[in-house]
Structures are given as structure tokens and as C-alpha cells.
Amino acid sequence: MQKEIIFSGVQPTGEIHLGNYLGAISQFVENQEKFHCIYSIVDLHAITVWQDPNIIRSQIYSVLSVFLASGLSSEKNIIFNQSKVSQHSELAWILGCTARIGWLNRMTQFKDKAGKNRENASVGLYTYPILMAADILLYKSTHVPVGEDQKQHLELARDIAHKFNTDYKTEYFVMPEPLFNKSTRVMSLRDGTKKMSKSDESNYSRILMTDSNDEIKLKIKKAKTDSMNMPDDEKNLSDRPEINNLINIYSASMAIEKKEVINHFASKEISFFKNELTDVLIDIIEPIARETIKLLDDKNYLETILIDGANKAQVISNKSISEVYEIIGLRR
């Protein structure tokens, strides 16, 4: 039987928020017992949008610290930053010759991020999903835990793998399967139709994994809602995106069904629900925030983990890239 291998990546573009935690990192922690896991801090993805050279390193360390503080083990898993393993970029070039322009043109994340001024977006932002496919395929990953926003990129990785295998008459690349956290696309606390994101201007739109208890309390208190009481049925939620989001957050944080949350709080006042939600979030975030801040004090230790992870990743990726060169008739 084939070994199951997990790969996932998180960009060091800002501080890790609750959406990253519930959508991705909490799954990473669960998976470490069941699979061989490779988790990368994808700094080459981050620079598709300009990053300040003076702060990108500290952002890599802060993602790593949240990983470790959330319970990811650097012994059980391979954890490294992408730019330390040059095979990712090498494979991205080769796969860029397999991917079709028409496929990239369909990527909605590019359209969202490039906005109206598409001519002025970086070429890297456009080809970004090819680098993501390279990340995944380089390790013959069988499963990719990501938030639901990455679904289209994962389908592209499968399309690229399939076309490469067909073009070169091989079965070399493995088709990766997404692993979505059932419940979760965490939305902004200011606008229930927009995803919670590192780049939103408003600090009140997101809860950080390093927020203090008071900050969490304040952000939930200020979270946009409406003036009605809590719903008593899921059907009544369709026009209430903000309450729907808070219920989803509660359900994902407690790992209980949404229906159960709705029944529990049915017709209660929103302020009552918000207080309970605050307590639930503090229970999760407080220990992670404390440990993250402690870890950030020891950059040498963090760097050692990244170097060790990169060394392990290179053993696998070196072999893969040589095999790929062989398949396409070149030699490394």
C-alpha cells in the first residue's frame, strides 16, 4: 500500500488568525498522528505581493512559532520554509510548461487579488498556483489539508499532474486529495460575506492567535451582528451572514455540529452567545498565544528547526526532481 503523505503551506504575509487556525493549522495538528506530514512556510508564495525584506524573516518565525505553539511537533513532521528548498522553484518551471494559460485564467483568487489593475499585478501572482502544484507534487503528497478557498488551486494541481502523466506516458505524479475542515471558511468579523484575511485593513475583522484575552473580548463584542435574537433554525440563517459566521466559529472551535449550537442558543440574546463564544475562543487562544510569544524569544532555536526541516525535505525533493528530469529526457 502507498504511504499517505500530507503537504500543506501557509504564507508568511502577516499574523496568523483564527481562520488559518480553524481552516488549516488545527487540521495539521490532528493529522500528525495519522500521516507523514510536511508543512511549509511558503515564503516564495508570499513575495508574489511585495514584502518588506526587513520583516519577512520575522513573519516566517511567527508562523513557525504558532505552528509549534498549536502542538505541531518538529520531530514528527517536516517543517521548513520553502525558499530553503530550491527544488520547489525548479519543479515549478517544469510544471509551468505543462500547465495551460487557459487554466490559469480561470483562477478566481488571482482575479480577486489582482483586482481591476490586472496589468500591473506581478507575473508571480499569476503563476502562483503552479508553484503550489510543485510544492504538493514534489513530495507525491496524497492529501492536502487546506481551507476551502484553496479548492480551485488544488484542482489545478490535479490537472497539471494528470497532463504531465499523460504527456510523458508515466504514472509518476500522484493525484492529491484535498482535506477540508468540514465547517470552515471563517469570515471577517466586520463583513460576513468576506473571508477573514491577513490583509484586511481592519484589525477588528480578525482574531489573531496572539491576541490577548481583552483583545479577543473586544473584537467579539464589536463583531458586526443584527438586532435579532439567536436563530432557532438553520434555515433562518441565510440572510444573516455575520451571525452565521459566529455560529460556524463556535461550532468549529468546539468541534460540535452547527445544529447543536443553534439548538443550544435558540432565541437567546446575541450578547449572551457572544460572551460564551469569547470564553470558548480564549480557552483555545490563550495557551497558544502565551507559548508563541515565548518561542519568538529564541530565534536561534527556531532557525535550527527550519534548517533541520529543510535538510529532511531536500532528501525527498532531490530524488523527485532528478526523477522528473529523467522522465522529460534531461539529466540533472
Active site residues: 113, 195, 198
Contacts of 95 (CB under 8 A, 6+ apart): 130, 133, 134, 137, 160, 164
**Beta carbons within 8 Å of 275's beta carbon, 6+ residues apart:** none
CB of 8 or CB of 225, closer to ligand TRP: 8
For the bound state, the minimum distance from the C-beta of residue 244 to ligand AMP, rounded and expressed in Å, comes to 14
Q: How far is the CB of 160 from ligand TRP (least distance, A)?
A: 13
SS3 269: coil
Q: Smallest distance from the beta carbon of 135 to ligand TRP, in angstroms?
A: 4
Q: Which does 274 bind (CB under 5 to 8 A by kind): ligand TRP, ligand AMP, none?
A: none
Determine the Cα–Cα distance for residues 281 and 216; give it in Å rounded to an integer: 8
Residue 189 DSSP one-character state: S
For ligand AMP, which is the closer residue by CB, 48 or 74? 48
Which residues, 6+ apart, have CB-to-CB distance to 84 below 8 Å?
306, 307, 310, 313
198 binds, among ligand TRP, ligand AMP, none (CB under 5 to 8 A by kind): ligand AMP
Name the one range near ligand AMP by CB under 6 A: 112-120, 190-198, 273-281, 313-321.
190-198
Question: Of 5, 6, 15, 20, which lies in the binding site for ligand AMP, with binding defined by CB under 6 A?
Answer: 20
3-class DSSP state of 75 = coil
Single residue of 88, 158, 195, 219 touching ligand AMP by CB under 6 A: 195
What SS3 string covers 34-56?
Answer: CCEEEEEECHHHHCCCCCCCCCH
Q: Which of 205, 182, 145, 178 is nearest to 15 (CA)?
A: 205
Q: Pick out residues in 119-148 that bind ligand AMP (CB under 6 A).
A: 146-147
**Piece of 19-27, 119-127, 282-290, 324-332 that binds ligand AMP (CB under 6 A):** 19-27
Neighbours of 300 (CB within 10 A): 6
Binding site for ligand TRP (CB under 6 A): 7-9, 11, 42, 45, 132, 135-136, 144, 146, 150, 153
**Which of ligand TRP, ligand AMP, none does residue 135 bind to, with CB < 5 to 8 Å depending on kind?**
ligand TRP
Phi-psi region of 98 (alpha: psi -120 to 50; beta: other; left: phi over 0): alpha
Q: CB of 116: closest distance to ligand TRP in angstroms?
A: 21
Amino acid at 169: K
Residue 205 touches which member of ligand AMP, ligand TRP, none, C-beta under 5-8 Å by kind? none
Provide CB contacts within 8 A for 312, sequence distance 6+: 78, 80
Tell whether residue 79 is a contact of ligand AMP (CB under 6 A). Answer: no
186 touches ligand AMP (CB under 6 A):
yes
Question: Interface residues for ligand AMP in 238-297 (CB under 6 A)?
Answer: none
